Amino acid sequence: MGTEVKICGINSHEALQSAQLSGADYLGFVFFPKSPRHVSIEQASALTRQVKPGVKKVGLLVDASDDEIRQILAQIPLDILQLHGGEPLERVAEIKRTFGLEVMKVVKISDKKDFENIPPFEEIADRLLFDAKPPKGLKNALPGGNAVSFDWRLLSGKSWSRPWMLAGGLTCDNIKEAINISGAPAVDVSSGVEDEPGVKSADKIALFASLAKNV
């Protein structure tokens, strides 16, 4: 079985169709207004109605309130809630308990000390996603999608009791190396398959997915 692929930041019909044609296993919809990939509830509702059975619909949230999550779920049948902010352990558990959906907690990595944050979340979250911590001094840094990677060797030989994904600065040029070094069973790409921030490239999506699934 090849590496699973998540295409995040789906915000148009063209991006959605390209991702599905490429065989993406997960489609990510960003509900964070400051992101160039942000979608409104109305946009995401229209797009998710086109998602094929078996493809997981993931909602990227950043420190969202219960009311915000309820408004999204009232119109969009998400499969997974991706918590990409600074949500503490108690909040992750609360969201999972309140909404009854799979929760994927993002852990931001810059060095090996950051792995100390993983075990508590491993007990609560259904999935983990390891993303690069934005470098200090990076202007207009986003919670994710900054086209920044971390040292994949930090993941080499490690395993967790929960399914996990690798994110952060992945592109068609480095995805094979990233998987070979990290051993990632699933990868998440956003800016790495764009022609400009928020504008997905059908060719890059297809190539990325093909490379990842054939490592």
| Total count of domains within the chain | 1
Assign residue 128 the CATH number of its domain.
Answer: 3.20.20.70
Of the candidates 8, 25, 172, 188, the residue annotated as catalytic is 8
Of the candidates 25, 131, 172, 188, the residue annotated as catalytic is 131
Mind giving me the DSSP string for 66-103? HHHHHHHHHH---SEEEE-S---HHHHHHHHHHH-SEE
Structural domain containing residue 39: 4-213
8 is catalytic: yes
The one-letter amino acid code at 29 reads F
Sign of the CA dihedral with 98 first, then 185, 33, and 143 last? positive
The whole-number pLDDT of residue 45 equals: 98
The whole-number pLDDT of residue 142 equals: 53
| Mean pLDDT calculated for residue range 58-82 | 98
More confident residue, 148 or 137: 148
**pLDDT one-digit tens code per residue, 164-202:** 999 999 999 999 999 999 999 999 999 999 999 999 999
